[in-house]
Amino acid sequence: MINNNKAKEAKDLESLSSNVRTLMWNHNMTQGDLGRVIGVPQATVNRVLNLKSMPKVSTIKNIAEFYSVTLDSLLERNGVMLDPTIRNSRLMNKLKTEMGMIPTQDSIPFYRKFYNMLTNKANDNANS
């Protein structure tokens, strides 16, 4: 019985990790971003994503609440799907607010490259 419970927990952790990664990708979030939003250290998010430990139930509930998904969908294999439009719309909003640009869906790859180039250059200048 104990082996069955460990196998189930390992499967749940694998599904949780995969689904949280997908949600983070969809929302263009880092481990630190998610940790701050749900009130846990970045290391906790890292342990979940790297299949090191199952988080507390309250942490799983906070993740589900933040992303507006069900607990079941977080623990089901393929319970959350990639949504490239969410990621693209977030990039478009950044471009509009931070740079005054109005990109179209067709110009996303160009603007993503441009935005990354500018933010990397700004980070390089700040570190100099």
Summarised one tens digit per residue, pLDDT across range 52-106 is 988 998 999 999 888 888 888 888 876 666 555 555 555 556 656 665 555 555 5
Where helices occur in the chain by DSSP H, the ranges are: 2-26, 31-38, 42-49, 57-67, 71-75, 84-99, 108-127
Q: State the chain's maximal CA–CA distance in angstroms.
A: 60
How many folded domains does the chain comprise?
Answer: 2
- Residue 100's domain comprises 84-127
Report the alpha-carbon distance of residue 122 to residue 128 in Å, rounded.
10
Q: Are residues 118 and 56 in the same domain?
A: no
Which amino acid is it at 75? L
pTM of the prediction? 0.60
Q: Are residues 44 and 94 in the same domain?
A: no
Report the alpha-carbon distance of residue 21 to residue 16 in Å, rounded.
8
Q: Are residues 68 and 92 in the same domain?
A: no
Q: Are residues 9 and 59 in the same domain?
A: yes
